[in-house]
Structure 1
């Protein structure tokens, strides 16, 4: 069954993801204002790019610079499934800590990376806000890996000391109901999104959002011990609703908030 799903990431335009099943489809020659990165999951695509033709089967990642003339597709009787990222030039450069960039290589066969990208896109297209955020984080880290493979050199920007990560942890912990975006956290530290995630994970072992979520569930446990109803706990700590609290509390502690409170009596 053919179909196309799209989602925009972040508060500003400039980063979109797509998941497509378009058996027997082909695209006329065209171009984009954005960088386009696609991972082929099923089907044997023939790609036309700036006068050259090449094959892109399952596990192949293709990259297109803004303005490049492209086209392609699969034979009429073939299934075709792929995911794509569309990133404004200034958005991608900022995410990776660069002033500008251009992909040197248009294609590479990287099955593990292609299917990791597809998994992250599926998370972004899902209904759970926390899972969508995890997908966005994963895509940011994968973009850096894709950029290196396709011939883009990343800057050496980084956190100079653990104190800056500790400052971000304090800032997040001060108001757990506030859930800043990756861009807001990166701005707070003066880093790109990629270097924020890489530096935080290297020091803490979790992404900033994962770390904040485990702190929220820990504080939820304390509030439940104090006798606060689960609905109030969810509101106090910025969970979308009580079911959102239930899901993450159970994942962390093996019981629901209600069962936890009953066990205390």
Structure 2
């Protein structure tokens, strides 16, 4: 990757877990990965090509991209022009109550949008206004909270699935056990045998089922979870060396390579950005 691609993360000074990414990309492509947060994006210039939900998408300027938590995706510039886009990330714990309020549900486990690539001027404007408030360090806490609420409200109006009492299929339940085991043991040297035994299915059936369900291998998922956990540790100022060792990376060089494939920058650059 040359200096032609630029990435900047800006954390809200008022709303916990609210972060904006502004990226300008010419020669970079993301590995397939998933975030723990909701991600609301707007393509500003160029074309944004990505895979998600079992299909490929092409986002032209003005389109909205919406990823639900743990929705696997990748991304790269498409066409002849550089890609410029904004993405707003916010953790489900920060917005579940807002989703529930808009839907009129007092108790709701989660909300998932029906659509990934959206053409809607109202939602686009709401995302851009929220991103502006965060990136310019403008407005008070209530200003940013209100802007976030506008994004949530319009997202619900455009359609989705609320899950107050989700009934899981047997494969979903078994893979849920596997994912829970992975999250509980990110700081350990876990094996496929360990994970498949936690899910109570054979290793090879587990491999096929996991990839079919999520679009990535268990190994990719483990690395992705470790990178996301590492990012959370960087957010609170943990040293790079401590984070790398805690989450099973051989050394800082290995940590740098893995982190960069998902976030477009090194852990040091990321920690420097969010400290501003």
Query: Given the two structures, how large is their TM-score scaled by the length of structure 1?
Result: 0.50
If you compute each CA radius of gyration, which structure gives the higher value, 1 or 2? 1
RCO higher in structure (CA 8 A, sep ≥6): 2
Query: Given the two structures, how large is their TM-score scaled by the length of structure 2?
Result: 0.48
